[in-house]
Amino acid sequence: MMSDWIEETLHPDFRFKMKVEEVLFEGRSENQHVAVVNNKTFGRTLYLDGVLQTSERDEFIYHEMLTHVPILSHGSVRDILIIGGGDGGMLEEALKHQTIERATMVEIDPSVVEMCRRHLPSISKGAFDDPRVDLVFADGVDFVKTTDKRFDVVIIDSTDPIGPGEVLFTESFYAAAKGVLKDGGILVTQNGVPFVQSDELAQTMRLFKPLFADATCYLATVPGYVGGPMAFGFGSDALRHRQLSLETLEARFADAAIDVRYYTPAVHLAAFALPGYVLKTIEGPEDA
């Protein structure tokens, strides 16, 4: 049972605690321990296996940057695939784009979706009921290896590379995920906080480089993910997606007419300007 404080134990050298005002849900699914607690600063907050996943107050930063950056970089997204994302926040942001005709979401744990629909409805905002959504309960690795569908953008909204999320950081998975992209498609990934999780980002970039003509990452600062800015992997064979002018992005953003709180075209471009320690991480020892 929860105490007055919940302590995240993801990192071996430091801990992050959140004061629990109320336990809204606590239980174990087939795959993991699930908890939703209320905190005065972050609001309702989701934990999986003791690791913070998302909160009502800061989820918009993470979800906006992992959806609108690839969608507006691409410019003509019709079909999108989300692996993970049981809270529905990624789905909700993607569906703001009326040009999207089909949003396929693959989640391994049905109980997480059901629990989030019940206890965190402000994150998904009814997205699961949108007629454009194809919600699939399956292993994301199996899905990308067997589906005959193809997508303009694939978003890997995974947990950290422990437990059920570990296989979503492997060479075979990334290769299969690239295989479901249409020509000119974009793959983006959640890659943790590089200041304290540099191995996670370095591993993804090492695997991305043989797969994509353009393999890099971009950053956003999400308060709940402590230790510095968070990294998102970005891979595509179309170099044009990262050669866009601010004016082009502004025009696409205006046409999309989406309601956002963090994303702007200027932030989009600036997110790819990486500090030295992140550049060193993604370059790897063979490029240093």
Could you read off the pLDDT of 140-197 as tens digits, one per residue?
A: 999 999 999 999 999 999 765 455 444 556 888 999 999 999 999 999 999 999 999 8
Asked if residue 229 has pLDDT above 50, the reply is yes
If one counts the domains in the chain, the total is 2
Answer yes or no: do 200 and 217 share one domain. Answer: yes
| Whether 14 and 151 share a structural domain | no
Instruction: Tell me, yes or no, if 157 is annotated catalytic.
Output: yes
- State yes or no: pLDDT of 237 exceeds 50: yes
pLDDT in tens, 10-57: 778 888 889 999 999 888 877 788 889 999 999 999 988 888 999 999
**Contact criterion met (CB below 8 Å) for 144 and 83:** yes
Residue 27, amino acid: G
37 class by beta-carbon count within 10 Å (0-12 exposed, 13-18 middle, 19+ buried)? buried
**Which domain range does residue 41 map to?**
5-53
What is the percent of the chain with per-residue pLDDT over 90, rounded to a whole number? 76
Return the higher-pLDDT residue of 64 and 7. 64
Are residues 220 and 93 part of one domain?
yes
Please pick, among 49, 58, 87, 157, the residue that the annotation labels catalytic: 157
Instruction: Say yes or no: 125 and 37 in one domain.
Output: no
Same domain? For 30 and 65 the reply is no
- Assess whether 101 and 9 both reside in one domain: no
More confident residue, 102 or 47: 102
